[in-house]
Structure 1
Amino acid sequence: MILRMNATQMQNYIALFIASLLMAIILLIANYVQSGKSEPQVDAAVITKKTLHFRDLPNGAVGVISADNGQMIAQVEGQAGFVRGILRALARDRRIRQISSDDAFELVSRSDGRLTLIDLATNNRIDLESFGKDNAAEFAAFLTSAR
């Protein structure tokens, strides 16, 4: 069938093939250039912010201590899976980087509803609302404590 084409038909198919090839190359290059780039999300205004320390207590609970005045504002008792899980992940990263566990964390509530825990030692941040309202509420309680 290809052998029975006239010169004009052959040129049209060659032009179509070259145009398709160029388009594919352009798309591959554009994809390569854009890969790994993401638009940074602008943080909404801060509503409340607290600097906290989390300490293991002798009774097995985790003490939540205000960095401003050193007072314990809460105790996380029992499994408290979400709070302990987040803290374990951040503590593990500190151990890997050989960073002291004495540095504080910052808990930030924003006007768009996000609740973020920032490890001030590593600059890691976890948007807690991503794990659901109930889980985020466990950390939000630390912001509303009177101490």
Structure 2
Amino acid sequence: MSHDHATMLPRGTIALTGALVLFAIGATAAVRITGTPLAASPTALRAAERVAPAASRTLRFSDRADGAVVIEDVGSGSVAQVIEPGQQTGFIRGVMRGLARERRMKGVGEGPPFALTLWRDGQLSLTDTATGRSIELTAFGASNRAAFAALLPTETQP
């Protein structure tokens, strides 16, 4: 049985791979040389444009033994909402599960609150006061955004 190197890889494949690598290097160099700004985060854009909050609420999320999630308004000490097991609120649970995982990785407990903020430009964000991570809730669609917007005082809900 003979071994022929000519049949290993077609020349066209090698040429296309080389062209792709050169294009990637060229595009990266063009962006660096021209000084094209990198995409800014929504938080940085709001700060640069001085967008003020329209409403804000500081919340603490905690799990109850029966599987319910209790959402407490830290400012007033009252319960803002209780999400019972089986309710159609998977988005809130999913977001909070991700944030709780990040807190566990950084050694932060569930004590520090979260800041839910409705901005004057209509955006809604949830910021972890312990880690500084901010989630833009508007990006997840109207119904998911509404789940968190319902936690704001009724006179400020969009």
Note whether the superposition's TM-score is higher than 0.5: yes
Deviant stretches of 4+, over 4 Å: 25-28, 33-36
Question: TM-score, length-normalised on structure 1?
Answer: 0.73
Q: How does 1:1-147 map to 2 (within 5 A)?
A: 28-32=28-32, 34=35, 37-39=38-40, 40-43=44-47, 44-77=51-84, 78-79=86-87, 80-144=89-153
- Higher-Rg structure is 1
**More off after superposition, 100-109 vs 71-80:** 71-80
**More off after superposition, 30-39 vs 104-113:** 30-39
Percent of matched pairs sharing the same residue: 35
Q: Amino acid of the residue matched to residue 91 of structure 2?
A: F
How far residue 99 of structure 1 moved from its aligned partner, in angstroms, is 1.1
When residues 100 and 36 of structure 1 are mapped into structure 2, their CA distance, relative to the original with a 3 A threshold, is farther
Q: For 1:63, what is the secondary structure of its paired residue? A: strand
Cα RMSD over matched residues? 2.4
CA deviation string 1:84-117 (max 9, x = no partner): 0000000000011111211100000011111100
Q: Amino acid of the residue matched to residue 114 of structure 1?
A: Q
Q: Amino acid of the residue matched to residue 31 of structure 2?
A: N
How far residue 59 of structure 1 moved from its aligned partner, in angstroms, is 2.4
Structure 1: runs of 5+ lacking an equivalent: 1-24
Instruction: State the alpha-carbon separation in 1 of the partners of residues 73 and 145 from structure 2.
Output: 19
> What is the aligned residue count?
122
Structure 2: runs of 5+ lacking an equivalent: 1-24
Q: Amino acid of the residue matched to residue 38 of structure 1?
A: A
CA deviation string 1:54-73 (max 9, x = no partner): 01113211001011122111
CA deviation string 1:35-72 (max 9, x = no partner): 88333312522111000000111321100101112211
